[in-house]
Structure 1
Amino acid sequence: LGDTAFFYHSNIGKAVVGIVKVVREAYPDPTADAGPWVCVDMQAVRSLPRPVTLAEIKADPALADMALVRLSRLSVGPVGDAEWRYILALAKRAAPAQADRTRSR
C-alpha cells in the first residue's frame, strides 16, 4: 500500500506515460473467470512530461537488464531505483528522432 509504479500503455503506443500509487491492497480480480488472479487499485499521481516509448527503453544500453526489456508479455514487473530515475530523466528530454523503431532482441 502506497507503493509507486509507472503507468505503461501496453497496447497501442507502448510507452511509460505516468506515475501511479497503490491505494488498495491485492484482492481477487472480479473480472477473472477462474484462477488465482488478483488486482490492486491504483491512483494517478502525475503524467510524465512526455511518454518514454518501449522502443527507447529497448534501444538504451543503460536499461538492457530491465525486466520490461528482458521478458516478453510482461504486465507487472520490478523497476529498480536506478531504472526509475533514468526513465524519469528520459521523460524530461526531447524524444529521439527514431524512438518508434523497436530493436529486435
Structure 2
Amino acid sequence: MRYWLVKSEPDVFSLDDLKSLKKSPWDGVRNYQARNFMRDEMGVGDAVLFYHSRERPPAVVGLAEVVSEPYPDPTQFDPGSPYFDPKATESKPRWWLVDLGYVRHFARKVSLEQIKATEALQEMMLVKRARLSVMPVEQAHAELILTMAGEAP
C-alpha cells in the first residue's frame, strides 16, 4: 500500500461530496505528472489524504482510498466538458484517472500551516511543489499527518 494526497477545492468537490457518493472518479486532472502518478503508480487499496485547497485555512481533512485500477478519463472525449481534449482519442487516450472511495473525515484537520511548521514534513511534495493536485506521500509523512489529525496510523 502506498500513500497519496489529492487536492480539491471544497466548493467544487469536497470530502463531504465523496462521502455522499461513496466513490467517485478523480477526473479532470490535466497535469502530466499528476496523470502519470494515477496511471502508473496508484493501486487499489492505496490510502489517500484528502486536502481542501481553497478552504481557510487549507488543510488535510480526511482519508479516502483508491478503489479502481487506472482507466481513461471519459471527460477528455466529451466536447461539452470543460476537460475535453481534442487531441485525445479512444485508441490513444491522453488522460487517466482512478476512482476514490470515502473512508472518513478527520476529527482534527491538519492545516498547511501546521504541515509547513513541522520539521519532519519539510520534504513533502505538498511543501516543495504545492501546485500538483495528485502527489505521492512517504509513509512516514502520512503516518505523522494521521497522528496530527488524531488518527492512529
TM-score, L = length of structure 2: 0.56
SS at match of 1:78: strand
Greater RCO (Cα-Cα under 8 Å, separation 6 or more): 2
Aligned residue runs from structure 1 range 17-96, under 5 A: 17-31=61-75, 32-34=83-85, 36-92=94-150
Residues 49-58 or 34-43, more deviating:
34-43
Q: Which amino acid aligns with 1:12?
A: E
SS at match of 1:33: coil
- How many residues were matched structurally? 93
Percent identity between the two aligned chains: 47
Q: Which residue matches 1:98?
A: none
SS at match of 1:86: helix
Structure 1: where are the runs of 5+ without partners? 94-105
CA distance in 2, matches of 1:59, 1:53: 10
Structure 2: where are the runs of 5+ without partners? 1-43, 76-82, 89-93
Q: Which amino acid aligns with 2:68?
A: R
Residues 50-59 or 7-16, more deviating:
7-16
CA distance in 2, matches of 1:53, 1:37: 30
CA distance in 1, matches of 2:54, 2:97: 19
CA distance in 1, matches of 2:103, 2:48: 10
Q: Which residue matches 1:6?
A: 49
SS at match of 2:144: helix
Q: Which amino acid aligns with 1:8?
A: Y
1:62 Cα deviation after fit: 1.1
1:72 Cα deviation after fit: 2.9
Distance change (3 Å), C-alpha of 1:71 and 1:86: same
1:80 Cα deviation after fit: 0.8
Q: Which amino acid aligns with 1:5?
A: V
1:12 Cα deviation after fit: 2.3
